[in-house]
Chain A
Amino acid sequence: MPPYNGAIKAVSVARNGVGAFIRPCRKITLQYCNVGGSSQGLRDFLTQRLTKFATKYPEIEFQVALKRGHPIVRGLYSTTMASNPAILTNDSTKLADVHTNVKTVCLRNLNIDNVENKLKLMVESSGNRLYKPKQAVQSLNQSVRGIWSPFHVDKDHRFKI
């Protein structure tokens, strides 16, 4: 019998940006109303600035939808497994909606500049749910300093009771 048997299975973890960076935001839907006053800012944006904005981000698919009610911007995100807290917590109930991460923001009564700012926020977002990190630094790697050990301190400098 060999003195070791087998190996433990592993799956590689994404590190978006280590090789190439893929923008998590993949699609943005702008929903506006043709008559409502709350859509005025978005209507201005659609007629004046959308073309320029969309050309700047060719990797994002822009969709414009006409629907009654307040204007809405909806972002669809592809999520990295490592950066998603739902994966990190191994909560199987949260896993279902990981692949179609959606972020929705209401654009009611916003003027054209505010609409653009909200769109920039959608574009730059990771798509993850907002959560409070428990540590100041989150990393897949171990600490380069290692863990302090009292046994490796020189005997003369050890704490004596």
Chain B
Amino acid sequence: MASHRGMVRVIPRTSVRFFKTLTEPYSPTISTDLYTQEKEPRFISLFQNDSRLKTITEEEAKLSPSLIALHARLNLGQDFPLATLARALTCDTKDGQHASNSSLSQVGKRLVKYHVTENMITKYPRLPIAVFSKAVNAYVGTESLSSVGRLFGIEVESKSPIDKYLSGETLETSFGKLRFDSAISKPESGVKHYGKEGITEDVAYKFAVRSIIGGVYLHKGESAAKKFIDEYILSRKVDVESMLKFEQPQRMLLRLLRRNNLPAPVSKLMAETGRHSVAPVYVVGVFSGDSLLGEGQGSSIREATMRGAVNALKAHYLYRPLNERVPSDPERKEPLYVDEGEVYF
């Protein structure tokens, strides 16, 4: 501590205290522990802007009729406070006075993705990985979750502050609405946008839905959150069959059968009509040994063969086991079956 130079050098760059006020007398404190005391206040100051941020109280939230209606519509129950629901609808804004849903949304995001992934791998253990990730995304992506938010009947706060003032609306009425900084899709030429960009309405809806799920998890527990995801997100329909795409189906089927030590596929013409007419129809069966793997029909033999191979591949990749209990279900006793994956060459 003899040298002043040495002291200045060890001041952590994360120190808030040093940069706080100019009038404060210069009295650097030496902290060798960068990650415990010093980092936390900096973290908060970065992400919540400043200490003026308030949390919406239960009393304030009770003054919003649309918030109470939304709470009842989602059957959230007594355990789920209205204040959390109000926070779930508050996205990060530049001039926001209230704490945003960013942290709740992170909890919800992981939960939804975990539960949907778990369900999909249990239902379709053989899906190719590209199809699998897109199928999960069909449930948890922005388009899907924003549609869920609209189905919830969440209203967007579209009135400007001056309009609200003129119509005599209080701040509390807007707690029941989705509040966010709307992104400007096309700024005027020559205008440069500084600072944080806004978000689109779809993304705001996504954050709100995720945050509500996060809130259910925090207040009502894991099983309630899973039930919520089951009821509102996994109940939606995704046609996985239409997501599969095969460039060379016959070749792929050959590789698949070879890997499983099965006889190579053989296509056989099973029925046909109108060979010499303008509208012929052929039915081709794809066999491996004696077993019929798939059947396709088309206006040429080539087309029918290709469809037959596609149907055989679909029958393999869309296999669904009888036991559809997810691994986190306490009633599932045996381990999960997961396929070795698709074949490459």
Contacts and interface: CB of A to CB of B under 8 A. Distances in A.
A22 B235 contact: no
Contacts of A8: 134, 242-245
A5 B128 contact: no
B69 A19 contact: no
A12 B144 contact: yes
A36 B66 CA distance: 30
A3 B252 contact: yes
Given A20-B231, A79-B150, A12 B236 contact: yes
Q: How large is the interface on A (under 10, 10 to 19, 20 to 34, 35 or more residues)?
A: 35 or more
A151 B283 contact: yes
B224 interface: no
B151 A80 contact: yes
Interface stretch (A43-51, A53-61, A110-118): A53-61
Interface string B307-338: 00000000000000000000000000000000
B130 interface: yes
A4 to B, nearest CB: 5
A13 interface: yes
A147 to B, nearest CB: 10
Contacts of A24: 153
B69 A7 contact: no
B150 A4 contact: no
14 contacts: A3-B344, A4-B246, A5-B130, A5-B247, A7-B135, A8-B245, A12-B233, A12-B237, A14-B148, A22-B152, A58-B69, A78-B150, A78-B151, A140-B237
A27 B244 contact: no
Nearest to A16: B151
